[in-house]
Chain A
Amino acid sequence: MKQLNLILFTLFLPVCMMGQQRITGKITDGKKRPLQGVNVAIKDTYDGATSGADGSFSFTTDVKGVQYITATLLGYTTQEQKVFIDGTLEVNIIMRNNVNDLKVVTITAGSFEASDEGKTTVLKPLDIVTTAGAGADIVNALKTLPGTQQTNDREGLFVRGGTGYETQTYIDGMLVRNPFYSGLPDQPGRGRFSPFLFKGTTFSSGGYSAQYGQGLSSALILESTDLPQRSSYSLGASVIGVSGGMEELSKDKKGSYGIEADYTNLGPYLNVLKPKYRFSANPEIMGASANFRRKTSKTGMLKFYGYANKTHMGTVRPSLEHPGYEEQFELKNQNIYTNLIYKESLGNDWKFNAGLSYSTNVDKIDLDTLNKSTPAKVKNQSELGQVKAMLTKGLGQYSMLRFGGEYQYSVEKSAFNNWPANYVDNYTAGFVESDIYVTPRLVGRFGGRVEYSSVLDKANIAPRVSLAYKLTGLSQVSLAYGDFYEKPEQQYLRFKPDLGYMKATHYIATYQWVAKHYTLRVEAFYKKYHDLVKTSPDTTTSGTGYAKGIELFWRDRKTIKNTDYWISYSYLDTKRNYLNYPFEVQPDFAAKHTFSVVYKYTIPAISTNLGITYSFSTGRPYYNPNLPDSKFMSEKTMTYNSIGLSASYLTSIRKAFTIFVLSVSNAPNFKQVYGYRYSSDKLRRQEVVPNIPRFIYLGMFMNFGIDRRQDVINNL
């Protein structure tokens, strides 16, 4: 009988458990805000519900007794709560945010990152290409960010009271000796490398990682793209030249190679739109590049990039020294750049990066006062070979340690009318750095760099420290401190190799608020210069200086429909005593106030993008030799204004994805004076002005993608 009862019980067990119980409750986050869309369930049953806008839920269930109620919502840790169900039950659940990448603080003092990967990056790689007036040049686009100067009469990126020489460019961690095309006097110098080569661009205006050395002010860190998504061919044509390229993705999708060639000649353009000074040789550029990329394993990657380029150009200007005569400047340049990069995960949280690079640059310059003197011939030649290796070890969830070393072999040759002045430098450096997360909201980066240069025969140790603390989900503060050393410029080292390192010490404080569509950054900095090069009375490294300032950046991608704009403002207070300066003064490349607005407007219906960029800076000091020494650099140029416009139209011509671009730099043709040059008798002066004040560019690019989608369609 007992057994029969048991049998009956077993048979009716499922039935016994019938009977409906109502479960209700409310889901909130840690701050008691209701959470919508939470999936509430009784574990291992189908019973449950989704929370409404007020966080409440309600459902019925047939189960009784001890049960587990689960609550799941993306971005939150799944909650499981033990309950005893015996009739109606109210269950309130508090859910906690997941600690994910968005909530983990990252070090941001001094740096702007453009990348597709991080959700909180300030710029995307496409932003560089689509900034009006920048002409798809990385450095020109960066000149719309705070910290940079509108120093468009000299080569390089002038950052926070530093010269162009104080900014270094790195591709995949390897130093680039000549990142700019060799150009004519009073020209800004265009970057050699297309922004399309890089998936990530980090512009650091100070306080950067110990991985990078030999830049007193700034580092431009470029990370090359990985495998292309498909094979493609491209063609480009513009008012100044043509280009063509191909990129082939291997069948197994683990490797690719590509070649590109371009030819630029400004001749036809300059025949129509005359420059201020005539060209004795119209600028002509011939270039070719090749790349090869291969996945060597699931995590390993090998990349090669090689580039060769030849340019020729010359101008003739009225002579300042000899009235009635003309000065000719003619330049021939040859440049080769190559690098080979390897990265691999070694397991156990170890990562290995290594690189080899070789580059060479030759500038041949002829200077001639026409019909008066015999031409002077200048030849500058530099070669740089380098090797770098770095190991990274992940420590726990976020922390990490990295260390490595590099060696550079550089040959700097120069000849003036066959009078040579050459030197060779063997430069070695080691670095170690650790990112230590005390909590996911607080990180410290501690590191240092040791360098030795054989030509100086001196070593240095540069400590670097950064801290970042996340205040809320969107905002954070960062602090950075560091010492930065750099060898004096080649033209001084050539003649006096026993100089010391120049040195800058940075102190930076940043507040940053980054929401999905808005970015606000405020940064204050103080930079102390030591041991700058002095050329008077003797060539020594005894110059001094400082730079301090405050910078603002605001970007808004949402408020106005189809519109994206950003505003940068930099206040800079800097003085230095270097070269032939008699005492500390504001140098002739620095402006006190710099302001930029970049505005981009998309018209989706006709797939057209319009852009306008306005840049402004206050006047720069210039040297008037007619004034007494005490008034050195006391006069200032007019303010600088520039408006760049661009329009691009996307379409397809047959199967080629095609883009038409029209861009105009300095559209209103504002007069821009960067300084004045005086004759040695101080009687005459010449304005330093752009030779082509307004440039109109019209071009088209076609990309013939070998789209797998098309294959599929054709096979049907």
Chain B
Amino acid sequence: MKRILFSICLFVGLASVSMAQSAQYESVMTKNVTMLDDSANFNPDRLLEIGNTFERIAAAEKTQWLPFYYASYCYVMSALMQRDNDKVDDLADKAAVNIEQAEAISPKNDEINCIKSLVATSRIRVDPPTRGMKYGMESAELLAQANQINQENPRVYMLQGQSLFYTPEQFGGSKTEAKKKFQTALEKFSAFKPASAIAPHWGEAYTKGLLAQIK
């Protein structure tokens, strides 16, 4: 009897530890993911800091893909917002390392493909004449794959639109095509229900912002 009681207590004790961990995971992730909804945090240095936080969480929670995903998202956004071209490749490398780990945990994931596409896009700027073709193609292909995996993911349309929006017309960009993409993205956003509070859900406000620039 005592032994049973002991076992129960031990079980409860351990459960409380792991629940604490899990509760901590949810709460810390929620706290940091919420930070990314705040545009005040969108500057290269702040994003690097938040990215580092996600990287720490990822290092402790080796079976969760979301911390790696968000770490990569922060780094690549930091790369895209960098003023200094010299820092872009380092940040993109950091983003690439993290997103590969996310993919190892969760293969064939459309959200992960979106980040990989962003990583390729971020590298173009360092040397557009020599890199534009290679990384532009890679980026587009990753989005096409993401679209095959999940046709309802609004971020795919948003990123395709973004690429059309920023690519000069002589290289295949088009503001009118971009507009169509953004409109599709917004339709998908209105139907999109993130799986949880910490599942990827970014991009709607950004899409509206870009769309507003076309009108």
* Residue pair A41, B2 in contact (C-beta under 8 Å): no
Interface residue? A10 (CB, 8 A): yes
Given contacts A229-B137, A708-B144, contact A44 B60 (CB under 8 A): yes
Among A11, A126, A516, A711, the one with the most B-chain Cβ atoms within 10 Å of its Cβ is: A11
Interface residue? A607 (CB, 8 A): yes
* Residue pair B177, A713 in contact (C-beta under 8 Å): yes
Contacting B12 at CB < 8 Å: which of A11, A658, A711? A11
Residues of B within 8 A of A74 (CB): 90, 93-94
Interface residue? A92 (CB, 8 A): no
Contacting B20 at CB < 8 Å: which of A14, A43, A45, A657? A14
* Residue pair B170, A607 in contact (C-beta under 8 Å): yes
Interface residue? A650 (CB, 8 A): yes
* Smallest beta-carbon distance B18→chain A, Å: 10
* Residue pair B160, A655 in contact (C-beta under 8 Å): no
Residues of B within 8 A of A707 (CB): 137, 140, 172
For residues 1 through 54 of chain A, which have their beta carbon under 8 Å from a beta carbon of chain B? Answer: 3, 6-7, 10-11, 13-14, 37, 39, 41, 43-50
Q: Compute how far the CA of A709 lies from the CA of B172 in the bound complex, rounded to whole angstroms.
A: 9
Interface residue? A652 (CB, 8 A): yes
Q: Compute how far the CA of A73 lies from the CA of B90 in the bound complex, rounded to whole angstroms.
A: 10
* Residue pair B168, A607 in contact (C-beta under 8 Å): yes
The main secondary structure of chain A at its interface with chain B is mixed
* Residue pair B160, A7 in contact (C-beta under 8 Å): no
* Smallest beta-carbon distance B126→chain A, Å: 10
* Residue pair A50, B48 in contact (C-beta under 8 Å): yes
Interface residue? A124 (CB, 8 A): yes
Identify which of B50-58, B192-200, B206-214 touches chain A. Answer: B50-58
* Residue pair A75, B90 in contact (C-beta under 8 Å): yes
Q: Compute how far the CA of A710 lies from the CA of B16 in the bound complex, rounded to whole angstroms.
A: 54
Interface residue? B205 (CB, 8 A): no
Q: Compute how far the CA of A43 lies from the CA of B56 in the bound complex, rounded to whole angstroms.
A: 8
Interface residue? B100 (CB, 8 A): no
Contacting B60 at CB < 8 Å: which of A39, A46, A49, A230? A46
* Residue pair B13, A10 in contact (C-beta under 8 Å): yes
For residues 141 through 183 of chain B, which have their beta carbon under 8 Å from a beta carbon of chain A? Answer: 141, 143-144, 147, 160, 163, 168-172, 177
* Smallest beta-carbon distance A661→chain B, Å: 14
Residues of A within 8 A of B52 (CB): 37, 39, 48-50
Residues of B within 8 A of A234 (CB): none
Residues of A within 8 A of B56 (CB): 39, 41, 45-48
Contacting B55 at CB < 8 Å: which of A45, A72, A716? A72
Residues of B within 8 A of A710 (CB): 172
Residues of A within 8 A of B133 (CB): 229
Interface residue? B49 (CB, 8 A): yes
Interface residue? A116 (CB, 8 A): yes
Q: Compute how far the CA of A125 lies from the CA of B129 in the bound complex, rounded to whole angstroms.
A: 10
Which residue of chain A lies nearest to B151 when distances are taken between CB atoms in the complex? A716
Interface residue? B43 (CB, 8 A): no
Could you mark each residue 50-83 of chain B with 1 if its beta carbon is under 8 Å from any beta carbon of chain A, else 0?
0011011101100000000000000000000000
Q: Compute how far the CA of A517 lies from the CA of B55 in the bound complex, rounded to whole angstroms.
A: 32
Q: Compute how far the CA of A707 lies from the CA of B172 in the bound complex, rounded to whole angstroms.
A: 9
Residues of B within 8 A of A713 (CB): 160, 177
Residues of A within 8 A of B90 (CB): 74-75
* Smallest beta-carbon distance A474→chain B, Å: 13
Residues of A within 8 A of B59 (CB): 41, 43-44, 70
Residues of A within 8 A of B10 (CB): 7, 10
Q: Compute how far the CA of A284 lies from the CA of B9 in the bound complex, rounded to whole angstroms.
A: 95
Contacting B144 at CB < 8 Å: which of A11, A14, A70, A712? A712
Interface residue? B184 (CB, 8 A): yes
Interface residue? B104 (CB, 8 A): no
Residues of B within 8 A of A125 (CB): 130
Q: Compute how far the CA of A98 lies from the CA of B203 in the bound complex, rounded to whole angstroms.
A: 36
Q: Compute how far the CA of A44 lies from the CA of B60 in the bound complex, rounded to whole angstroms.
A: 4
* Residue pair B184, A716 in contact (C-beta under 8 Å): yes
Interface residue? B36 (CB, 8 A): no
Interface residue? B35 (CB, 8 A): no
Interface residue? A353 (CB, 8 A): no
Contacting B170 at CB < 8 Å: which of A6, A516, A658? A658
Interface residue? A187 (CB, 8 A): no
* Residue pair A46, B53 in contact (C-beta under 8 Å): yes
Residues of A within 8 A of B94 (CB): 74
* Residue pair B169, A516 in contact (C-beta under 8 Å): no
* Smallest beta-carbon distance A580→chain B, Å: 49
Q: Compute how far the CA of A47 lies from the CA of B127 in the bound complex, rounded to whole angstroms.
A: 38
Interface residue? B38 (CB, 8 A): no
Residues of A within 8 A of B134 (CB): 229
Interface residue? B106 (CB, 8 A): no
Which residue of chain B lies nearest to A47 when distances are taken between CB atoms in the complex? B56
Contacting A46 at CB < 8 Å: which of B2, B28, B130? B28
Residues of B within 8 A of A7 (CB): 5-6, 9-10, 13
Could you mark each residue 14-43 of chain B with 1 if its beta carbon is under 8 Å from any beta carbon of chain A, else 0?
101100100010001000000000000000
Interface residue? A625 (CB, 8 A): no
Residues of B within 8 A of A6 (CB): 6
Which residue of chain A lies nearest to B91 when distances are taken between CB atoms in the complex? A74
Residues of B within 8 A of A230 (CB): 137
Given contacts A7-B10, A11-B13, A50-B48, contact A516 B171 (CB under 8 A): no
* Smallest beta-carbon distance B113→chain A, Å: 13
Among A13, A125, A516, A716, the one with the most B-chain Cβ atoms within 10 Å of its Cβ is: A716
* Smallest beta-carbon distance A25→chain B, Å: 15
Which residue of chain A lies nearest to B171 when distances are taken between CB atoms in the complex? A657
Given contacts A709-B172, A712-B160, contact A516 B17 (CB under 8 A): no
Interface residue? A275 (CB, 8 A): no
Residues of B within 8 A of A516 (CB): 86
Q: Compute how far the CA of A125 lies from the CA of B127 in the bound complex, rounded to whole angstroms.
A: 13
Interface residue? A705 (CB, 8 A): yes
Q: Compute how far the CA of A707 lies from the CA of B173 in the bound complex, rounded to whole angstroms.
A: 12
Interface residue? A651 (CB, 8 A): yes
Residues of A within 8 A of B171 (CB): 650, 652, 657
Residues of A within 8 A of B48 (CB): 37, 50
Which residue of chain A lies nearest to B48 when distances are taken between CB atoms in the complex? A37
Residues of B within 8 A of A3 (CB): 2, 6
For residues 440 through 463 of chain A, which have their beta carbon under 8 Å from a beta carbon of chain B? Answer: none
* Residue pair B9, A11 in contact (C-beta under 8 Å): yes
Residues of B within 8 A of A70 (CB): 59
* Residue pair A116, B130 in contact (C-beta under 8 Å): yes
Q: Compute how far the CA of A47 lies from the CA of B184 in the bound complex, rounded to whole angstroms.
A: 41
* Smallest beta-carbon distance A250→chain B, Å: 15
Among A13, A39, A650, A708, the one with the most B-chain Cβ atoms within 10 Å of its Cβ is: A39
* Residue pair B141, A708 in contact (C-beta under 8 Å): yes
Q: Compute how far the CA of A14 lies from the CA of B5 in the bound complex, rounded to whole angstroms.
A: 20
Q: Compute how far the CA of A37 lies from the CA of B48 in the bound complex, rounded to whole angstroms.
A: 7
* Residue pair B160, A46 in contact (C-beta under 8 Å): no
Could you mark each residue 114-150 of chain A with 1 if its beta carbon is under 8 Å from any beta carbon of chain B, else 0?
0010000000111000000000000000000000000
Q: Compute how far the CA of A650 lies from the CA of B94 in the bound complex, rounded to whole angstroms.
A: 34
Q: Compute how far the CA of A599 lies from the CA of B60 in the bound complex, rounded to whole angstroms.
A: 53
Contacting B13 at CB < 8 Å: which of A13, A46, A709? A13
Q: Compute how far the CA of A6 lies from the CA of B7 in the bound complex, rounded to whole angstroms.
A: 12
Question: Could you list which residues of chain B lie within 8 angstroms of chain A, going by C-beta atoms?
Answer: 2, 5-6, 9-10, 12-14, 16-17, 20, 24, 28, 48-49, 52-53, 55-57, 59-60, 86, 90, 93-94, 127, 129-130, 133-134, 137, 140-141, 143-144, 147, 160, 163, 168-172, 177, 184
- In the assembled complex, 21 residue pairs joining A and B whose CB atoms fall closer than 8 Å, in A order, are A3-B2, A10-B9, A10-B10, A10-B14, A13-B17, A14-B16, A37-B52, A46-B28, A48-B56, A72-B55, A75-B90, A126-B130, A650-B171, A652-B171, A655-B172, A657-B171, A707-B137, A707-B172, A708-B141, A709-B140, A711-B144
Apart from A45-B60, A658-B170, list 11 A-B contacts with CB within 8 A. Answer: A3-B6, A6-B6, A7-B10, A14-B17, A39-B52, A46-B57, A70-B59, A657-B171, A657-B172, A708-B137, A709-B160
- For the complex of A and B, list the 4 residue pairs with the smallest distance between their C-beta atoms, beginning with the closest: A10-B13, A652-B170, A39-B52, A709-B140
